[in-house]
């Protein structure tokens, strides 16, 4: 009897923990599938009956949603690829040299508010005449993606046994070859974690694009925020747009939860 009570109590605790997360996303889904009439009904309508897709159609009809999606894809992929290209060797170098001071710089970058980079960079990009292109947005996103990649990779390379590379060096390989052909292939799982995390935090980022993006270069979060300002009352399309923006990230989280959890617990990395 006591065991049963304990089990019921525990199940309730799990339910209480999980439901705020689940309910907000379900409510987002519900809002996006209801007609305008149902969305402003009182008491609220919970289950869309019948579910309609007109809100999603409205999102694509009324905005350059495809253009903004393309912008987001270009920015997140470029910022992640560049970060991997320069961040993986850097993580390797820092781990090998035990360069704690270099690691500290990365850490301080993590705690600096994003806005503080923006004032100088905004002026710089204006001076270089790059405003109105995606270049400034990609470059500023490196502020997020590079520290994430370096941080994850330092942790990963420190955990790798060095014997294999040493054997390669003994056989006359250069340190670049030892990295390229021995350490790099071994580091695949770590790189996967770094790619996923840096992609997600770049995709989610709002602060850099809200300042730097022009009409043609908005990323999805900025575009969705603009919809809020102009369409206060029409909730259906708003919720549909919000869902479309965050859906790729949610799916990625569901698919790669193991890697994400491993990456986040080692460093508590998060863009910002």
Partner 1 sequence: MGHPAAALPGGAAAAAGAGRRRNYARRYGWFIVPAGVVVLGVILFPWAFTLFMSVHDWKVGGGRLYVGFENYRKLFTDERFLWSVVRTLYFTALAVVLPMLFGTAAALVFNRRFPLRGLARTVFILPMMATPVAVALVWTMMFHPQLGVLNWLLTQVGLPPSMWVYDASTVIPTLVIVEVWHWTPLVMLIVLGGLASLPVDPYEAAKIDGASAWQAFRHITLPLLMPFIVVALIIRTIDALKAFDTIYVITQGGPGTSSETINIFLYLQGFAYYNMGYASAVVVVFFALIVSLAALLLWTRNRVRNA
- 45 near 194, Cβ under 8 Å? no
Residue with tokens 């997020």: 144
Shortest gap between Cβ of 30 and partner 1 (angstroms)?
A: 9
Q: Which letter does DSSP use for residue 45 in this model?
A: P
- 137 near 217, Cβ under 8 Å? yes
Closest CA to 159 of 95, 84, 85: 95
Q: How far apart are CA 165 and CA 187, in angstroms?
A: 12
Burial class (CB in 10 A: 0-12, 13-18, 19+), 55: buried
Closest CA to 138 of 202, 79, 97: 79
* Helix, strand and coil percent figures for the chain, each rounded to 5: 80, 0, 20
Shortest gap between Cβ of 11 and partner 1 (angstroms)?
A: 8
Shortest gap between Cβ of 203 and partner 1 (angstroms)?
A: 7
Which residue lies nearer to partner 1 by CB, 53 or 126? 126
Shortest gap between Cβ of 53 and partner 1 (angstroms)?
A: 19
Q: How far apart are CA 77 and CA 232, in angstroms?
A: 32
Which residue lies nearer to partner 1 by CB, 67 or 266? 266
Which residue lies nearer to partner 1 by CB, 35 or 253? 253
Shortest gap between Cβ of 122 and partner 1 (angstroms)?
A: 8
Shortest gap between Cβ of 175 and partner 1 (angstroms)?
A: 6
Which residue lies nearer to partner 1 by CB, 81 or 99? 99
Which residue lies nearer to partner 1 by CB, 1 or 265? 265
Please name the residues in contact with 151: beta carbons below 8 A apart, sequence gap of 6 or more. 91, 103, 106, 107, 110, 267, 269
- How many Cα atoms are found within 13 Å in the side-chain-facing hemisphere of 184? 13
Shortest gap between Cβ of 171 and partner 1 (angstroms)?
A: 7
Which residue lies nearer to partner 1 by CB, 39 or 63? 39
């Amino acid at each position: 009897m006591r065991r049963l009570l304990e089990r019921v109590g525990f199940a309730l605790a799990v339910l209480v923990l999980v439901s705020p997360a689940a309910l907000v996303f379900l409510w987002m889904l519900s809002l996006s599938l209801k007609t305008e009439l149902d969305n402003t009904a009182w008491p609220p309508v919970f289950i869309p009956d019948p579910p309609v897709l007109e809100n999603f159609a409205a999102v694509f009809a009324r905005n350059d949603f495809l253009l903004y999606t393309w912008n987001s894809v270009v920015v997140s992929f470029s910022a992640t690829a560049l970060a991997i290209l320069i961040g993986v060797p850097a993580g390797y170098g820092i781990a090998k040299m035990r360069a704690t001071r270099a690691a500290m710089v990365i850490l301080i970058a993590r705690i600096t508010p994003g806005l503080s980079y923006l004032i100088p960079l905004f002026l710089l990009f204006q001076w270089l005449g790059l405003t109105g292109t995606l270049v400034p947005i990609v470059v500023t996103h490196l502020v997020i993606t590079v520290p994430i990649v370096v941080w994850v990779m330092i942790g990963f390379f420190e955990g790798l046994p060095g014997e294999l590379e040493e054997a390669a060096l003994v056989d006359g390989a250069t340190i670049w070859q030892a990295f390229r052909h021995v350490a790099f292939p071994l580091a695949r799982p770590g790189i996967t974690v770094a790619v996923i995390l840096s992609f997600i935090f770049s995709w989610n980022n709002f602060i850099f694009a809200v300042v730097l993006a022009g009409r043609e270069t908005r990323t999805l979060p900025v575009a969705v925020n603009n919809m809020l300002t102009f369409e206060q009352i029409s909730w259906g399309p708003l919720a549909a747009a919000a869902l479309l923006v965050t859906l790729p990230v949610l799916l990625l989280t569901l698919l790669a939860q193991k890697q994400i959890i491993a990456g986040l617990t080692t460093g508590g990395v998060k863009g910002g």
